[in-house]
Amino acid sequence: MLHIEKYAAVDIGSNAIRLLIATVIEKEGFPTQFKKTSLVRLPIRLGADVFLKGNISSGNYKRLLDAMQAYSLIIKTHKVVAFRACATSAMREAKNGKEIVSKLKAATGIDIQIIDGNDEAAIIASTDLKQLISDNKVFLYVDVGGGSTEFTVFANGKNIASHSFKLGTVRIINGMVEDTMWEQAQQWVTQHTKAYSKINVIGSGGNINSIYRFSEKKVGQPLSYLFMSNFYEKVKQYDYNQRVFELKMNPDRADVIIPATRIYLSAMKWAKAKNMYVPKIGLADGIVKQLYNERKTSALK
């Protein structure tokens, strides 16, 4: 007998906002299955407001309101048993962030939790990432977003260290990341990986998923440092319009793909890693896992 439920997660990032509807299937004696039923992504790019002006503009608030109302209807239509919305760097740094969250809750009923970089890394770590992080391997986990990048070192199956840097793609394309930020990130990665002789990188975020599709690799196969380097040199040869038209990138991906690739490539270089695994997980997947675990724990009480 199968027990089937749906969960929903909303990830409000600096570049885009996402709604994930996941179907959770339980069968006694078997591992629980998590299936992505629907993923809706909207490139609102809140970071362009916040990082340059300090506030979320009225125009982007209206877009965000429309998005949340639409998401609310989708969640209702799917009859999800639990959902959660989390906002990261842009909402966290916006002077009117809390006001926006309050207005959205009043208008849509969706209560948005503003989380910090460490919370974000912890939520993502609760996903299927655990299947990759075996006791005898060392990984540097790199999650690149529009406003920040989270680095986490896993060794012996445990989280050794993690840190969030304001090294995001939207910040970079707006000229808001100084060389000192790159240097700080390099120092942190070098310091926390130098004790290990062999390290692989785990990459997450929309950009690395896009790069992975370009690679035409089979699911589970890693991207090599050589591939990442060649990809970086290739996309730099195209201007924005060429990336959209000739490389067939989405317009909201074509401008951030270069700084994102630079961050991933730099992380591999700093950690002296030859390969990067791309499990295609993110904050929304972690939120779903958290909701499921909380619901199971509550049912046992």
Instruction: Answer whether 2-117+284-300 and 132-281 agree in fold.
Output: yes
Q: Tell me the two tokens of residue 178.
A: 């100084």
The angle subtended at Cα 208 by Cα 75 and Cα 65, nearest 5°, is 30
Task: Dump pLDDT digits (tens) for 46-90.
Answer: 999 999 999 999 999 999 999 999 999 999 999 999 999 999 999
Helices (H) and strands (E) in the chain, counts: 14, 11
Domain boundaries, the chain: 2-117+284-300, 132-281
> What is the fold of 2-117+284-300?
Nucleotidyltransferase; domain 5 (3.30.420)
Architecture, CATH, for domain 132-281: 2-Layer Sandwich (3.30)
Task: Dump pLDDT digits (tens) for 188-228.
Answer: 999 999 999 899 999 998 999 999 999 999 888 999 999 99
Q: Which of 153, 144, 148 is nearest to 189 (CA)?
A: 153
In the predicted structure, residue 238 carries a pLDDT above the cut 90: yes
What percent of the chain has a predicted confidence (pLDDT) above 70? 97
Which pTM does this prediction carry? 0.89
How far is the C-alpha of 286 from the C-alpha of 204, rounded, in Å? 12
